[in-house]
């Protein structure tokens, strides 16, 4: 199984009629995906509590910058899928685009797994019991010398 996330960006304000219908359509999508044997783990975001973006990064912090604001991520839905084709099907079935929502599909890995794939452990010093992660590329560079 591979890990995927659907990332939802709001692109417009929805109408009162859409506000009534959207939960019905999303619940239908959730039921359809669940019947496929896929467990969904949705997470909704509130407003940003703080913005530590670099000046000029286009973060849309509202500080008078001339940069265009970034479209806010409003929801992420995590799920596991047997392959990319199934994940794409799940994403395409989502009703979000009918309600002005951009839907992006991304594969993800746990941070520790990503770090482990890029690093190896070595002693902090010859006399230390502590270990430190060392990027594989650095280790390989030393072997080439």
Instruction: Check: CB of residue 8 under 8 Å from CB of residue 76.
Output: yes
pLDDT reported for residue 71: 65
pLDDT (mean) for 72-87? 94
Q: Is 70 exceeded by the pLDDT of residue 142?
A: no
Domain ranges of the chain: 2-108, 114-144
Across residues 100-108, what is the average pLDDT? 95
For residue range 2-30, what is the model confidence (pLDDT) as tens digits? 999 999 999 999 999 999 999 999 999 99
Beta strands in 36-72 (DSSP E): 41-44
CATH of domain 2-108: 3.30.70.1060
Please compute the mean of the pLDDT values over residues 72-77 and round it to a whole number.
89
Bridge-partner residues for 108, per DSSP?
3
């Amino acid at each position: 199984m591979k890990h995927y996330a659907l990332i939802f960006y709001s692109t417009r304000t929805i109408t009162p009629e859409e506000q009534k219908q959207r939960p019905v359509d999303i619940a239908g999508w959730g039921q359809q995906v669940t019947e496929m044997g896929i467990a969904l783990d949705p997470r909704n975001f509130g407003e940003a509590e703080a913005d530590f973006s670099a000046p000029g990064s286009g973060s849309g912090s509202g500080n008078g910058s001339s940069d265009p604001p970034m479209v806010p991520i409003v929801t992420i839905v995590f799920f596991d899928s047997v392959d990319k084709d199934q994940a794409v099907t799940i994403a395409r079935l989502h009703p979000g685009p009918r309600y002005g929502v951009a839907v992006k599909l991304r594969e993800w890995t746990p941070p520790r797994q990503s770090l482990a794939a890029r690093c190896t452990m070595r002693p902090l010093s010859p006399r230390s019991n502590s270990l430190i992660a060392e990027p594989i590329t650095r280790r390989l560079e030393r072997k080439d010398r």
